[in-house]
Structure 1
């Protein structure tokens, strides 16, 4: 059994996957969850040695949760598959969980020029402020790169299957008194065309999903 499984939700990321998967730290297993790709992403991932899970139901939460169910390692990390993150940074994100020093670790993005559109950055700052106002978590970034123990994540009983999944995870973890911390990670321009927060429409959809989660989940 590997010590860490990494869940990579994936929709048409064939161009990014080689760099993303070759940078995975030793001792970690990549699980690529294909969310309906039409560019051969699943085949590229398999050729690079990743475990491939197919999740036909579209949505970030649907893909990540399918990967979580497929994982077997005690610690699970989550990372975008678009090349905006350096997979090598996962070692730094996972370390506090593996050492028993934290229950949920989020990567706080240190963005390179042109990597984080203003509208997405503003939405992230707003949601982070809402989290700080409602919980004891002192988060500044609701980033998708994160790590926690698999059994704990399953026990949170996360229900959202769209863009609200990351926020629901943080809110429910805070409700249960989890130790939630941030570590700095690099953030760079993604490879290929953005389908979610890189577009104004995608950001608006994510905000709507997360606003619903804020209403429904009470820490």
Structure 2
């Protein structure tokens, strides 16, 4: 059976993180790592009480939090490292129980990277704002045009073989994290696929799509990242 670790970047998610951790399939995952990304609330304490390994990354940025989690896992002895890493948001918008379907293509040797696609799955009305839907369409269209990659989403709920993740040499510290992974995977001809996932309204306020500035900055960074790795 594959060894699976979960990395959850979390910024001010004290109202949702316990629900996320509760719904992760029991016995399926070896370790859940919550990276407290400079939260000003009780995210870290709630996550620790729910049984997660809690790391602290004071530098703001989604990518910074993910890189912190990767560094922690990579520092383990080889025999303690996972076969698969799953990335999952801490806002309870995804359904952690769908992790079983998400990692299946990797376990079956069909892919090294699996994106949970909200575009292919069922979305609760209002779960994604119009600017998010348009941004995903634009980014995936550019990935198809310039990289030949047939993705439908930049969804944060994703699974990747750990050896492949290390080989990608991830660098982005902020909004370009997800698209960097997909662009590099396409450029390196890594086997990729998507599985439909269910998506609901998040608990709390989105730090990116919830503000005009966040939306513009995220869109700019995503497009810049796509062209950077051509």
TM class, shorter-length: over 0.9
Structure 1 unaligned segments of length 5 or more: list them: none
Post-superposition Cα deviations, 1:23-59, rounded to whole Å, max 9, x if no partner, equal 0112212110000011110010000000111111111
Q: In structure 1, which of residues 60, 74, 78 is the aligned counterpart of residue 87 of structure 2?
A: 78
CA-atom RMSD in angstroms: 1.4
Q: Residues 117-196 of structure 1 correspond to what in structure 2 (within 5 A)?
A: 117-196=129-208
The corresponding residue for 2:77 is none
For residues 141 and 200 of structure 1, the distance between their equivalents in structure 2, rounded to whole angstroms, comes to: 21
**How far off its partner does 1:210 sit?**
1.1
The corresponding residue for 1:19 is 19
Q: In structure 2, which of residues 41, 45, 62 is the aligned counterpart of residue 60 of structure 1?
A: 62
For residues 107 and 228 of structure 2, the distance between their equivalents in structure 1, rounded to whole angstroms, comes to: 31
Is 1:10–1:35's contact at 8 Å kept on the other side of the alignment?
A: yes
Q: Indicate the SS of the match to 2:174.
A: coil
Pair 1:51-2:53 in alignment: yes
Structure 2 unaligned segments of length 5 or more: list them: 74-80
**How far off its partner does 1:2 sit?**
7.6
Is 2:2–2:84's contact at 8 Å kept on the other side of the alignment?
A: no
Structure 1 stretches of 4+ with a deviation exceeding 3 A read: none
For residues 146 and 100 of structure 2, the distance between their equivalents in structure 1, rounded to whole angstroms, comes to: 30
**How far off its partner does 1:11 sit?**
0.1
The corresponding residue for 1:88 is 97
Pair 1:4-2:13 in alignment: no
Aligned length: 218
